[in-house]
Structures are given as C-alpha cells and as structure tokens.
Structure 1
C-alpha cells in the first residue's frame, strides 16, 4: 500500500497559504500608525539598496539617491515585509524538511548498525559452534582410530612373515 506524503502535502499547503497571509500582514502593517513609520524606513532602505545595486551593476558611481515619497516608501516597505514573511515560511519549511530527512537517515543508520551488530553476534555464535563441532569431530576421529588400531592390531602382529 502506498502511503500519502502527508508532510509534503502539508508543507505545500502552508507555502500556498503563506501568500494570502503575507497580504494580510501587509494590510495590517499599513493600517497601524506605529508600523507605518517602520514600513516607510524599510521602504526607503530597500529603495536605497536596490538603486545602488542597479547603478553599480551598470558600471557607474553612486552620487546621491533621491528618497521615495511616503506612500511609495510605505508600499515598498509593505511589499518587503510580505516577501520576507513568505521567505521566512518557505525557509522554515525547508529547515523542517531537512531535519526530518536527517532524522530519517539517522534512524536508518541506527537500524543498519543494529542489524550489523546482530549479524556479528550471530557470526561469533556460529564460529563457536563450528569450533565445538570440529573438536567433537576430532574426538570421534581419535576414538575411531583407537578402535581400529585395537581391532586390527592383532592381525598386523600376526603377519610377521615375508609375504603375509
């Protein structure tokens, strides 16, 4: 029977739901007065960084960067927070899946070590049994040789002649 990958489906669902949740977070941040200043600062910072990177990648030196208007900075900051939320959720899921995979590998390794230890123990037991069997066989051969010699010894002693 094939098992459904419930964990993978759950992580996919969480990733899918993170986008509407990010929109909700952006909306809630934009509504509150205290967080608006924070979003404007983040928006200005992201604008500053992306503009510098664009100018540098074009091969020019940055002299000055015009700040964004408050609404544009607020929108850019909210977009950054939304994307950071989605990135954080996706990153957390990747870390969770990695830890789960590592645990599965560790369990598999432990199982292999236990199996190897069991086989080693069984091999030692078989070697001991083989040694006892060889000792018993040597004893049987010795007894058989002794009996053969006691039975055939008089016949051998009788034949002291030249041909028989």
Structure 2
C-alpha cells in the first residue's frame, strides 16, 4: 500500500497560500510609511524605468537621458505588486528546489539499498560455501572411517584414492640416485652388434652317410665309393 503524499499536499498548500499572504504583505507595505517610501515606491520607480527603456530598445528608438517620473500612487501600486509576485515566485522556487533535492536523496538511498542487498547476498553466499566445505570434509571423514572399519562393504574408489583439491600435494623427496649418464655413440653401436666368438666354423656338410657300424651295416653309395 502506497503512503499518502503528505509532501505534495504541503507544497500545494504553500503554493495556494502564497497569493493571499502576498496580498496581505502588500496591504501592510502600502500602509506602512517607511516601507512605503523606501521599498515599494523605489521598487515601483525602478521597474517603471526599466520597462520604459526596454520598450524603447525593442522599438529601436533613441534612449532619453532623463525619464519622466511617475506619481507616488502608481509607484506604490507597482512596487507592492512586484513584491507580491516576488514572494509567490520565491515560494515556488524553494518548493521546486526542495523537491529536486528530495528526489536526488531518494534516488541515492535507493542505490545504497540495492548495493547493501547485493553485499548481503554475497556475504550469505560465502557463508554457505564455507558451510558446504565443512560438511564435505565431515562426509569424507565419515567415509574414511567406514572404509577402515568395513573395507569389504565400502571399497575404496578411484576418486577416493586421488588427493583432495583442498589439501596441498606434497612434493616427493629427492632421491640420492644420480641421473642416468648418456653413453657415447660408439658404445651404443657396440651394444647393438651381435657378439663375436673365436670358435671355428662348422665343417661343410657332406652328402656321404655316416661310417658303417656293426649294429647297422649299409652298403656304400656310388658317390662315397669313389
């Protein structure tokens, strides 16, 4: 439900009351001798002079050095009217300035409220992320306890064997073994060649059968008899 616009009602009331207040001030100024002589009459004469010179300038006529004076009654009436209009204009200008300032402050308050809401949402999101991380740690700890107590029912998975991203991975300690030294090319070629032996080559294969034995006598062939 929207609130009742009290400020708009107050500005409308001030604008409506400015006209009768200006008339009352004009009546008081006309009846007051000092205000009548030093404010209203002087203001009326100055306004008459400026108005007359402006008319002559718009008509492209020569500006006179001395303007004809006006009567005191006309000067008082003109000065009082100008004073009343000035009061009405001043009240309207103050109302407009106050309204513009109020709208600017309202817009700034709206922007600040939106920023505070976004900040509250970000803080709540960070808090939820921290709580989620703590709950995940508790779940991992319970799974580890269950696998330790009942390894058959809760086997270790590949994901469990991998290190968690939250825990830093410790580097492996350096070993005392020296790095492999590259061998020369001649030694590598020598290792690739087959080993050579000093044994004598085998005798040539002969087509002749083996010599006769008493267990298996065979007649000699024609090639061997020669």
TM-score (norm 2): 0.56
Shift of the 134–25 alpha-carbon distance from structure 1 to 2, 3 Å rule, reads same
Aligned residue pairs total 148
* Equivalent of residue 121 in structure 2, options 111, 119, 122: 119
Q: Does 2:18 align with 1:18?
A: yes
CA offset at residue 25 of structure 1? 0.3
Give me the whole-angstrom Cα distance separating, in 1, the residues matched to 2:140 and 2:158: 10
Give me the whole-angstrom Cα distance separating, in 1, the residues matched to 2:47 and 2:157: 97
Q: Looking at both structures, which has the greater relative contact order when contacts are Cα pairs under 8 Å and sequence separation is at least 6?
A: 1
* Equivalent of residue 80 in structure 2, options 78, 81, 97: 78
TM-score (norm 1): 0.75
Going by fraction, where is helix more abundant, 1 or 2? 1
1:3-51, Cα deviation, whole Å (9 max, x unpaired): 3211101110110111011000000000010001121111011111122
Name 1:32's counterpart in structure 2: 32
Give me the whole-angstrom Cα distance separating, in 2, the residues matched to 1:97 and 1:147: 66
Name 1:52's counterpart in structure 2: 53
CA offset at residue 62 of structure 1? 1.7
Name 1:101's counterpart in structure 2: 103
Secondary structure, aligned partner of 1:108: helix
Give me the whole-angstrom Cα distance separating, in 2, the residues matched to 1:147 and 1:17: 83
Name 2:157's counterpart in structure 1: 144
> Which residues of structure 2 form unaligned runs of 5+?
144-155, 162-226
Shift of the 146–42 alpha-carbon distance from structure 1 to 2, 3 Å rule, reads closer
Give me the whole-angstrom Cα distance separating, in 2, the residues matched to 1:22 and 1:97: 22
Q: In terms of Rg, which structure is larger?
A: 2
> Which residues of structure 1 form unaligned runs of 5+?
149-164
Aligned-residue Cα RMSD (Å) equals: 2.9
